[in-house]
Structure 1
Amino acid sequence: MSHLNGSNDENNVTQPPAFSSFQTDLTPRAKTKIKLRFILVIFLAIHIPLVLYFILSRTILALAISIIPPTISIILNFIIYKQFDVIGMLSVIGWISAIILASFQKVSKFYSLGVSFVFGVIGLVLVITLIPIKVGSFEMRPFLYYCSKHFNIGNYQGLTKDEPFPDRCERYWKTYASFRRPLIIVTAVWGFVFLLELLIRIIIVYKANGFDPDNYVFYYSFPFLSVFTVIYITWLRRKQLKKLFCPA
């Protein structure tokens, strides 16, 4: 994957990047603001839309109304922070997919795909972000990269404290293969697992002649992804500690 290519001048910076920890040169107040912003985005993109959907009796109109909160999140992030809310964007894509699914209630085989179709579309979006598409100055990056960049998540020691965080994140992406790799792997695993789950669901629905009330594969996929992510991040941190405390 071409994202993995590029320079890897890790010896030029005092400390190599670690994965998924808040940068240490932020003040406590700045860290609190980042955490509150993340919580607000999650509420607008996920929790509030779900509450609206169930309160409004799970209709197509309810699905359409549920798109409003994540759209507001996207607009607010763009106006206030001059950044694109990728989590809000993913939420909007998910709700639009649900509207498309609900519009085909009379097509039993398609409608029986249920939530697997919605997360299959989300998985496709995650996989697409792995493609290094270039348009002018824009270059596609993995979904998790944008989460790291927009919410200031990551250990970016070794660079100037006065450097804007987006610039710092961009420089680490271009400089460190060890920084790029986890973002690519986690994005890829989540994306391909959602797509694989949708494929399995299609096969099950086809064999069941368009009727399959149970969707065990989907409910198994989330525990698997959660366990994988925790184990992988733990392994990365231990590997990082070995490099810091065990000289070659």
Structure 2
Amino acid sequence: MVWFFRKNDTDDTHDQERLHQEASHDSPYAPKEQDEDLPMDIGTLQDIFSFSFIRGRPIMNFLLAIVWSIGLPILLYHLLLPHIGQVLAMIAASSPPLVIVIIRILKEKTVDILGIVAGLSFLISGIISIAEPDEKTSAICESIVPLLVGVFCLVSLIPFRVGTFESRPLIYQMANQIMPRQEEDETLTHYDDQRTSATKTKRQKLDYLYTHLGRFRRDMRVMTACWGVTLVVTFIIKVIVVMTNTDTSHAETVGYIVFGLATGLMIVFTWLYTKVVKRHVTDTTKEGLHNATWGVQSFGNTFVFTGNVLDMVCVQVDTSSISDDLRGDHTPELFDVWLNIANPATGCQKLIEIDDERRLRGFYDKRMSQEVPGDALGDEFKGYVFRISGGNDKQGFPMKQGVLLPHRVRLLLSKGHSCYRPRRTGERKRKSVRGCIVSSDLAVLSLVVVKQGEQDIPGLTDIAVPKRLGPKRASKIRKFFNLSHADDVRKYVIRREVQPKNPEKKPYTKAPKIQRLVTPATLQRKRHRVAIKRRRAEASKEAEAEYKQLLAKRVKETKDKKLERRRTSSMQKSASA
């Protein structure tokens, strides 16, 4: 397909762009030329995901392409028909599109689909005219162009590569050809200092969508397949109508009506399905922006930036982290989460490493004690249901139930609170704990199997690990075996077999020590303890009685001495008088 622009216009455009770059070279905030290997700026991605780059002149390009590829051959045919005849006129009319196709293949390494269809149509019509068929064959051959378009649509769905040429759906190639080569909206680069001056063309943006978005590729294949099947079926219907009807003119009229209705329905389908494609791409960009937010948040847990630096980081976010479908095999190098899965039914526990963040998105924004299906973790977890029991972040702070936050917080904790063990009586301390809402900053996520799925997980559900020891307390043993107090619980102790590390040694059994077991020896020890306590009490009473007697004796002696001194003193006073 030939693009209609003059060389002077392109030269003026390049001169203006060069002058604009030289004028803005000294400014520190001037947009710089962006390398294609570097991450794409956010504004360009938003234009791609919102189909804003389609604004411009695609309809005018399509009309000009139709005029050049179809209108010009028809004009040449009617001009040359009176002079050189019908056959040579058709062959000459097919020459301009085919010549342009060959030139573009050799020079630009691209294929002009409309030119090929138009040239081959006129060429085949000329060949059919040489054969001079009957009326029915001529009526059938009039629909050779829709048949060729339908066949090309179906053939373009076959994936193959020849050198640098890659087969792509015909609808996508036609849409890519009508995209303008030059960027029309220059005001975006003038008002947005963060956008680059060398923006990508609209054809490159459409190619970016097809290369990096799986949904977009699937939608293009669906539209191409629908067009191809409709055109081929329309041709088959016309063949059936012509072959089963004696009136050729009536059959041609019916064929035109069927072709018109099919084309109208496909145009309406294409218009409606384009809105579906736009919604798919919009959903992808929402998911991509959400991923970018998670990425910035994960970096923020390690580094603290100001708002301006954060904006610079957002501008330089790699396109591979913007969307999942942009690069299916992309895995963030900094993402590494361990799942600590416990299965109470078997008593097993397994630690699984997850290096793909997309597999854990079903757990994001969920709280502890919530049940989450595990289908997103992989095919081996299909049908499993897990309960979130806890975890810790990358700095080792544990998750605390009741803290409805997706990040760390400092709380004043005391005795009785989880995530805290007091060292002194009545001690309170402010500790950092992780909230109970799951997000991307976790290093370990603890899960409990609530419902087992279709497949067994090796080391978790395929083997059963019995309890190491049975009940130890005597009352628990009696309750477990429904025994009375007269029964000897020592006969009902559950022993387990221990396999020694040395394979040459024989395995041995091990039994727990029974707690609170009442035996004659324990009763004797209890009586002994009671007797010792009683003797100690009696000895204490005897010592107390002896002390009281000694104290009374000493008090009496003190009183006697005091009375003796008084008596002696009074006798001396009477003698002196």
Give the TM-score taking structure 2 as reference length: 0.34
Distance 1:241 1:146, change over 3 A: closer
- Name the amino acid aligned to 1:93: L
**How big is the shift at 1:207?**
0.9
| Cα distance in structure 2, aligned partners of 1:69 and 1:17 | 35
* Superposition pairs of residues 39-118 of structure 1, within 5 angstroms: 39-55=63-79, 56=81, 59-75=86-102, 77-78=104-105, 81-118=108-145
Query: Which residue number in structure 1 is paired with residue 216 of structure 2?
Result: 179
Distance 1:149 1:240, change over 3 A: closer
Query: Which residue number in structure 1 is paired with residue 147 of structure 2?
Result: 120
Query: Which of residues 233, 258, 264 in structure 2 aligns to 1:223?
Result: 264
Distance 1:219 1:166, change over 3 A: closer
Distance 1:37 1:44, change over 3 A: same
Q: Is the 8 A contact 2:157 2:225 kept in 1?
A: yes
Query: Which residue number in structure 1 is paired with residue 243 of structure 2?
Result: 206
**How big is the shift at 1:35?**
7.2
Higher relative contact order (CA 8 A, sep 6+): 1
Distance 1:129 1:243, change over 3 A: closer
* Cα-to-partner distance string for 1:188-244 (whole Å, 9 max, x where unaligned): 222111100111111112212583342221222221222221222234335555776
Q: Is the 8 A contact 2:180 2:203 kept in 1?
A: no
**How big is the shift at 1:168?**
5.6
3-state SS of paired residue (1:91): helix
Q: Does 1:145 align with 2:172?
A: yes
Distance 1:44 1:210, change over 3 A: same
**How big is the shift at 1:39?**
4.7
| Cα distance in structure 1, aligned partners of 2:206 and 2:280 | 21
Q: Is the 8 A contact 1:109 1:205 kept in 2?
A: yes
Q: How many residue pairs are counted as aligned between the two chains?
A: 226
Distance 1:242 1:129, change over 3 A: closer
Moved more, 210-219 or 139-148: 210-219
* Cα-to-partner distance string for 1:139-174 (whole Å, 9 max, x where unaligned): 3111123234444479xxxxx856677766555333
Q: Is the 8 A contact 1:130 1:140 kept in 2?
A: yes
**How big is the shift at 1:132?**
0.6
* Gapped regions of structure 2 (runs ≥ 5): 1-43, 182-195, 291-577
Moved more, 76-85 or 182-191: 76-85
Query: Which residue number in structure 1 is paired with residue 234 of structure 2?
Result: 197
**How big is the shift at 1:75?**
4.7
Distance 1:15 1:217, change over 3 A: same
Query: Which residue number in structure 1 is paired with residue 53 of structure 2?
Result: 22
The percent identity for this pair of structures is 23
- Name the amino acid aligned to 1:100: I
Distance 1:118 1:100, change over 3 A: farther
**How big is the shift at 1:115?**
2.3
**How big is the shift at 1:81?**
4.6
Q: Is the 8 A contact 1:17 1:178 kept in 2?
A: no
| Cα distance in structure 1, aligned partners of 2:51 and 2:90 | 33
| Cα distance in structure 2, aligned partners of 1:245 and 1:67 | 48
Give the TM-score taking structure 1 as reference length: 0.70
Q: Is the 8 A contact 1:116 1:197 kept in 2?
A: no
| Cα distance in structure 1, aligned partners of 2:50 and 2:171 | 11
**How big is the shift at 1:182?**
2.7
Distance 1:234 1:54, change over 3 A: farther
| Cα distance in structure 1, aligned partners of 2:173 and 2:108 | 14
Q: Is the 8 A contact 2:216 2:277 kept in 1?
A: no
**How big is the shift at 1:178?**
2.1
Distance 1:208 1:180, change over 3 A: same
- Name the amino acid aligned to 1:109: K
| Cα distance in structure 1, aligned partners of 2:285 and 2:226 | 28
**How big is the shift at 1:130?**
0.8
Query: Which residue number in structure 2 is paired with residue 10 of structure 1?
Result: none
3-state SS of paired residue (1:22): helix
**How big is the shift at 1:84?**
2.6
The structure with more radius of gyration: 2
| Cα distance in structure 1, aligned partners of 2:110 and 2:127 | 28
Moved more, 71-80 or 161-170: 161-170
Moved more, 72-81 or 44-53: 72-81
3-state SS of paired residue (1:185): helix
Q: Does 1:237 align with 2:264?
A: no
Higher normalized helix content (fraction of residues): 1
Moved more, 166-175 or 102-111: 166-175
| Cα distance in structure 2, aligned partners of 1:117 and 1:81 | 29
| Cα distance in structure 2, aligned partners of 1:75 and 1:38 | 20
**How big is the shift at 1:110?**
2.2
3-state SS of paired residue (2:143): helix
Alignment root-mean-square deviation, CA: 4.0
Query: Which residue number in structure 1 is paired with residue 335 of structure 2?
Result: none
Query: Which residue number in structure 2 is paired with residue 8 of structure 1?
Result: none
**How big is the shift at 1:46?**
1.3
